[in-house]
Amino acid sequence: MSFAIGVLEKATFGTHQKPKLRLPRGMEKTSEQYDSAAAECRGIFVGKMKDYGASWRIFRPSSITDQLFIKANRIRSLEEKGVSRVGEGIRPEYIGLVNYSVMELIQLEKGIAEEPDLNIDRSIGWYDEHVTAAKALMEKKNHDYGEAWRDMRVRSLTDMILVKIHRIKQMEDNRGQSDLSEGIDANLYDMINYAVFALIKMSD
């Protein structure tokens, strides 16, 4: 028997693949709903990339944080007042929270640009990488904490997002230094997931 055939037989028959673990039924539903909400956000991101290009690449991360604050604060204001004078509701703002959080993660990882420097395909590729990472984090936390977020009010998710934004602003003022284990990127991933949860709950 040749070496190559022996290796092939060992790889094929001498090892046993572990069966793919199935998510509990409730978490399977969450995964499907997460994908649906994330696809909605991605569609808006792609549409704006086609309209405006990668002009957001000029933003410094702190400027995006301020945009996140404006959106989250507007959601809270609408929740309290129940009326919008500009004709836009809460859902587009949550979508904006997802997309701006991904943009800031990209800026933190790739650095800022002096002018738009991305084509749409590369932008979408980077976008998808961070949303995939956010979903993986969600699944890990859901495994540990269960579906506790389903018993939360959307308003509580808004407040948690605002808390995260204030933490990021403080870390930015401290030039990214934190005495805790979580950095700016970890807070941004959490915000993506809270916003997606809110979108799911508003669709239920």
Q: Residue 74 domain-assigned?
A: yes
| Residue 84, number of CB atoms within 10 A of its CB | 13
User: CA-to-CA distance for 106 and 128, rounded, in angstroms?
Assistant: 11
Q: Residue 126 domain-assigned?
A: yes
Q: Residue 1 domain-assigned?
A: no
Provide the pLDDT for residue 151.
92
Q: Residue 16 domain-assigned?
A: no
Q: What is the pTM assigned to this prediction?
A: 0.83
Q: Residue 20 domain-assigned?
A: no
Q: Residue 49 domain-assigned?
A: yes
pLDDT tens column, 153-166: 999 999 999 999 99
Q: Residue 6 domain-assigned?
A: no
Number of domains in the chain: 1
pLDDT tens column, 57-101: 999 999 999 999 999 999 999 999 876 555 578 999 999 999 999
Token representation of residue 79: 């929740």
Q: Residue 22 domain-assigned?
A: no
Provide the pLDDT for residue 177.
61
pLDDT tens column, 102-140: 999 999 999 999 988 888 999 999 999 999 999 999 999
From residue 127, alpha-carbon distances to 10, 28, 92, 103, 143 in Å are: 39, 23, 18, 8, 25
- 135 lies in which domain range? 27-203
Provide the pLDDT for residue 89.
86
